[in-house]
Structure 1
Amino acid sequence: MRVPERYQVNTSSFSFYWSKGLGVELLRKLPTKLSIAAADQFTPLLYQFDNSCDQLVEQLHLKIGFHQGQQLLKDALAGKPIDAAYEHVLLNFLNTLDLNPSWLDWDKIEQGIGLSQRSGLSGLIVLRDYVLMGGYESSAINKPLIFTGALKKGAVKRLTETVTFWVDITGDDALKKGNIGIEAILLTRCIHSYARLNILKHGHWQTEKWGIPLNTWDMLATNLGFSLVYLTGLKRMKFNVLKNEVEGLFHVWKFIGTLLGIPLQLLPDTEEQAIEALYYWTMTQQSGDQDSLALAKSLMEEPIKAAYPTNKWGRKLMREIHLYYNHYLLGDYSCSLLGLKKTVLGKIAYVNILKNKKANRMVTDSLWRQQQIDKGRKVHEGVKQIYLKYN
């Protein structure tokens, strides 16, 4: 069995997370102790990739251009007439999709979307300062970012794309056929395939070191970031999360995961299954390297280089606030490995956490919850428009 060099027992960041960080509480939820050796069964996933979408991109995007290929996919999803030369290629791909599988429960989807929406500004903070920044602690999963020029493009662009994607897929009915969420997911899936094919064709990618770029196991880890890590972050931000919201959140990302090309059997149904999956992936990751530090620094400085807030002082304050959340969510140990300095001024952000703690006492009040959902969704849409307008 082939095993890339990246596959090794983690002894720093993730190891600390599971032994002394937030991961301790997660492991206590499991009935039995996990063995790292069990992760060996997943190593083939480091060489597995989304073959069906790669075929689409090879036969469409790489022939007529990326933007034209994406537009044709949009047209096909909207039911518009397609150039006969590419209709067969698009239909072959679209026929692999199941937009309403038998296992899908729309009531659960609604609960998961409701949690995402009511997270408001705190949810976006968790995504940025915990999920995204924490992902840089693994050197291997971030190599495709380096090969596609993420550092040169800057964190502002990536953050804009991530926020737009997340807001689009968490809207009301966004995941139903013909709506914006489905389009966003499938366009993103094509971006992954386009990046993978170009990295393998034009870059100096070392498969024996890192496996296939954007491989199935790394895609699963990203999915867990948006579900389990996001959920853990919300709880750390003093959100009181209901049991049906937890079930709904994993159901949402199970559905999204399948549409992104992740095999159904890998996607967790429960928090416990997700904890196990995340443990195996994180504990067999190489620690961060110089690329990790560079990506973390780029994200740390993103508020300074962004065009909003419009004044220099406001942008500096935003940087300090995000640094505070980095330390609050990731912990000082991880932040030190990523080169993230401590902040004094940013501590004013704790006021938001106190507000969450007070407000979430009312989470079982259905009227209050719906008000928070409506309010949070407006915040998400507003932040998305700020990113699109100013960046």
Structure 2
Amino acid sequence: MVFENGVLDAYRQKGDWLADELMQKLFDKHGHKLGSILMPFLSDFDQHDFSEQDYETIAFFENNQSLPTFYDLKEIVRATEFFKKYQASIGIILGCYSLPYCYLGEDGARVLGFSGRIQHDTYNRLLETGKFVKNVMTQRFWEEKTITILLLKVRLMHAFWRFMILKSGKWDMKWGVPINQEDMLGTNLSFSLIVLRGLRKLGVEVDSVFEKAYYHHWAVVGSFLGLEKELLVFDVQKAIMFDKAISKRQFRSSEIGKQLTASLGNSYQKMANSELATGYFVAQSRYLLGENYADLLGLPISKYPKNLLKTINNTTSFLSNIYG
């Protein structure tokens, strides 16, 4: 299956109609108070009880908790075990590769720049992302099926921001719908394809059995987050096809991409309380992204030799503490 630009253009104009419909109903009921009512619940990943929410929200959770028909617990177990084994390296990859990779898509990155939160509250944003990844990759939450509540919360959080950005009247639809299907697919690939690619770049041999499980895992996650069936990825061939198409269409040098990347590096420096962290972030990101993509994001030339970078990878822990 090959997607041409016209088809992908259509996916840029699609959000998540089920979640978007709910947001419209809730806004009609609460108006601009909706954020203060809904967001504390959605951002609390430890709260699984939704019984005190609006009846429309309760219905959404009750009607969308079912696991997809392709769900295979054995594959989930394999994926979570794989994550646990390589969590230190995956933490490095998520922080220095996956996130900057997403910033290469200018139109998708505009959503993060729209609120300014990623630039001014990067640390908390990173902690939220880290907690999301930790929960999603914890086997117990899948066995208990509490993970479905978390994923539906994230889905509604995306719908809330999509609704409010469009409501502001400041969004140009030539960029596509905020948090559209193409950008959701790209983000999903940054947690699957890019993580696996990053591990290989760090010298890890990824067994095909665990590779298949990892794609399965993130396909399940994607289905809960509102990604359409046609865009779910179960193998490396389809992942590469989508990745090439999206990068060709969306990746370019942009001010928002450079700002987000610089803010990410500054946040790591603050977390590590050392200027060396910025140098490490630049060196590792340049290595994982490649020189061309690193230049598009405005990353300076690294002065770290590769042997020093390898030593730091084996000894540093602050990225692993966030994402591992």
Measure the CA separation in 2 of the matches of 1:334 and 1:79: 43
Cα RMSD (Å): 2.9
Q: Which residue of 2 aligns with 1:223?
A: 188
**Secondary structure of 2:4's match?**
helix
Q: TM-score, normalised by structure 2?
A: 0.87
- Deviation per CA, 1:1-31, whole angstroms, max 9, x where unpaired? xxxxxxxxxxxxxxxxxxxxxxxxxxxxxxx
Measure the CA separation in 2 of the matches of 1:67 and 1:346: 49
**Secondary structure of 1:295's match?**
helix
In the TM superposition, what are the counterparts of 1:65-104 in structure 2 within 5 Å?
65-70=34-39, 78=48, 81-82=51-52, 86-87=54-55, 89-104=56-71
Task: Give ranges in structure 2 of 5+ residues lacking alignment.
Answer: none
CA contact under 8 A between 2:103 and 2:109: conserved in structure 1? yes
**Secondary structure of 2:249's match?**
coil
Measure the CA separation in 1 of the matches of 2:203 and 2:293: 21
Q: Amino acid of the residue matched to residue 248 of structure 1?
A: A
CA contact under 8 A between 1:196 and 1:214: conserved in structure 2? yes
Q: Amino acid of the residue matched to residue 168 of structure 1?
A: N
CA shift, 1:345, in A, is 4.5
| Residue from 60, 73, 88 that aligns with 1:106 | 73
| Residue from 126, 143, 148 that aligns with 1:182 | 148
CA shift, 1:233, in A, is 0.6
1:210 aligns with 2:179: no
Aligned length: 317
Q: Which residue of 2 aligns with 1:301?
A: 266
| Residue from 124, 137, 158 that aligns with 1:192 | 158
| Residue from 308, 311, 314 that aligns with 1:351 | 311
Q: Which residue of 2 aligns with 1:120?
A: 87
Q: Which residue of 2 aligns with 1:150?
A: 117
Q: Amino acid of the residue matched to residue 186 of structure 1?
A: L
1:319 aligns with 2:299: no
Measure the CA separation in 1 of the matches of 2:219 and 2:198: 19
Measure the CA separation in 2 of the matches of 1:344 and 1:381: 20
Measure the CA separation in 2 of the matches of 1:381 and 1:323: 14
- Deviation per CA, 1:356-383, whole angstroms, max 9, x where unpaired? 9xxxxxxxxxxxxxxxxxxxxxx79971
Task: Give ranges in structure 1 of 5+ residues lacking alignment.
Answer: 1-33, 357-378, 387-391
Counterparts in 2 of 1:211 and 1:294: CA distance versus 1, 3 Å: same
In the TM superposition, what are the counterparts of 1:1-391 in structure 2 within 5 Å?
38-60=4-26, 63=30, 65-70=34-39, 78=48, 81-82=51-52, 86-87=54-55, 89-176=56-143, 178-179=145-146, 181-207=147-173, 209-285=174-250, 287-304=252-269, 306=270, 308-309=271-272, 312=273, 315-345=274-304, 347=306, 348-351=308-311, 383-384=321-322
- Deviation per CA, 1:154-173, whole angstroms, max 9, x where unpaired? 43232222111111111123
- Residue identity over aligned pairs, in percent, reads 23
Q: TM-score, normalised by structure 1?
A: 0.73
CA contact under 8 A between 2:51 and 2:58: conserved in structure 1? no
Counterparts in 2 of 1:99 and 1:352: CA distance versus 1, 3 Å: farther
